[in-house]
Amino acid sequence: MTVAKAERVPLDRTLPIVGTLFAKDEATLAAEVEGVVEKTGAEFGDRVKEGQEIALIDTDTYAALANQAAARLTQAKATAANAEHELVRQVELKRTGIASPADLDLAQTAAENARAAVVAADATRAVADLDLAHSHVRAPFDGAVADRIATKGDFMEKGKPMFRLVNDAVLKFIAQAPESHAADVRKEMTVEFNVDAYPGERFTGKVFLISPQVNAATRAFAFGALVPNAGRRLKAGTFARGELVIERAVPTVMVPLESVTGLSGVTRMFVVDGAVAKARVVKLGRVRDGRQEVVSGIQAGDLVVTSGQTKLSDGRPVAVREAGKPAATGIPAR
């Protein structure tokens, strides 16, 4: 029979979680003007930069409308300038008694109408310039084209989808936590996880949002962690499993896996106290590097039996040896 000493080692306190990776930003780009698509400059899977032109919609027509609106604004300003000049002249003539009050009233009305026409023409010009800008479809952020919906020759109406973009430089790992852990989950906590595409490799993120509501059906609440993805190795929509690190380096009692036995649904271990084996009912936690966490029932420093448990009963005298050492003098196990 061999024994080993239960040890207290620093171990992170964690919460097992599963969830899905989502793009941090995702947008469906829709046409903001009507017209025929002249060309598209991005395809499914292409990476684009914020502000990059990715499609054109009837740009010649909107350029012409913008020029027309600019010309009308210039014309309105010229008319307003003449009206202001005439108003100044009528005021001077009225002062000298040459002009009648009616002529001055007409000049004032004409000047006011001309000023209003300038404001209206300026607004029309602004709308035309905005439409011209919208005819050049641009990416709203750095990202990748997840779907190209429109193609050259399509007639677009306002609001009709053209592209779907995702920002996969940063992903969101959305997972669920039991309501019993509501007090444990806090922002800036570390999440560690792995995905099937990269067996054995760990990825990390930081908690940045926590749902204020518990799902009444599952008795769990959602939280999300931001995951840097500069190399774009991780893909949005991927299933992930991992742990939320609640507390770092918590002193934890660990024993060899082979020291744990079960009988009739009860998990127990044998501890050598003096020269006597004593059975302890234990509550177990996680398995790490071939060792078992013991939550209760065993203390650090206890000698736990790692072999020969089938020959033991509670209170039986034993002779023990630690692994790699000769048996100590004592009463042999029978």
Could you report the per-residue pLDDT of 161-170, keeping only the tens digit for each? Answer: 999 999 989 9
Token pair 């100590």 in the structure block, residue: 328
Check pLDDT > 80 for residue 323: no
Could you report the per-residue pLDDT of 86-118, keeping only the tens digit for each? Answer: 999 888 888 887 778 888 889 999 999 999 999
Check pLDDT > 90 for residue 233: yes
Question: 73-86 in b/e burial notation, b at 16+ Cβ within 10 A?
Answer: beebbebbeebeeb
Could you report the per-residue pLDDT of 164-209, keeping only the tens digit for each? Answer: 999 989 999 999 999 999 999 999 999 999 999 999 899 999 999 9
Per DSSP, the three-state class of 70 is helix
pLDDT at 327: 43
DSSP code of 91?
H
Q: Which of 66, 74, 71 is nearest to 131 (CA)?
A: 66
Beta-strand relationship, 2-5 and 321-322: parallel
Token pair 């005439």 in the structure block, residue: 86
Distance in angstroms (rounded) separating the CA atoms of residues 137 and 62 = 13
Distance in angstroms (rounded) separating the CA atoms of residues 209 and 211 = 7
In this structure, are residues 224 and 176 in contact, taking their beta carbons and an 8 Å threshold? Answer: no
Check pLDDT > 80 for residue 12: yes
Q: Is 297 left (phi over 0), alpha (psi -120 to 50) or beta?
A: left
Whether domain 13-24+164-250 has CATH 2.40.30.170: the reply is: yes
pLDDT at 319: 76
Domain ranges of the chain: 2-9+251-322, 13-24+164-250, 59-134
Check pLDDT > 80 for residue 303: yes
Architecture of domain 2-9+251-322 in CATH?
Beta Barrel (2.40)
What CATH number is given for 59-134 in this structure? 1.10.287
Check pLDDT > 80 for residue 326: no
Tell me, what amino acid is at 171?
A: L
Mean pLDDT of the chain: 91
Kindly indicate the confidence band of residue 320, based on its pLDDT and cuts at 50, 70 and 90.
Answer: low
What values do phi and psi take at 152, rounded to 5?
Answer: -55, 135
Q: What is the pTM for the complete model shown?
A: 0.66
Indicate the range of 11-15, 97-101, 235-239, 297-301 predicted with least confidence: 97-101
Provide, rounded to the nearest whole percent, the portion of the chain with pLDDT above 70: 96
DSSP 232-289: --S-TT-EEEEEEEEEEEEEEEEEEGGG-EEETTEEEEEEEETTEEEEEE-EEEEEET
Check pLDDT > 50 for residue 262: yes
Q: Which residues contact 220 (CB under 8 A, 6 or more apart)?
A: 176, 177, 178, 179, 214
Cβ neighbourhood burial of 63 (10 Å; 0-12, 13-18, 19+): middle
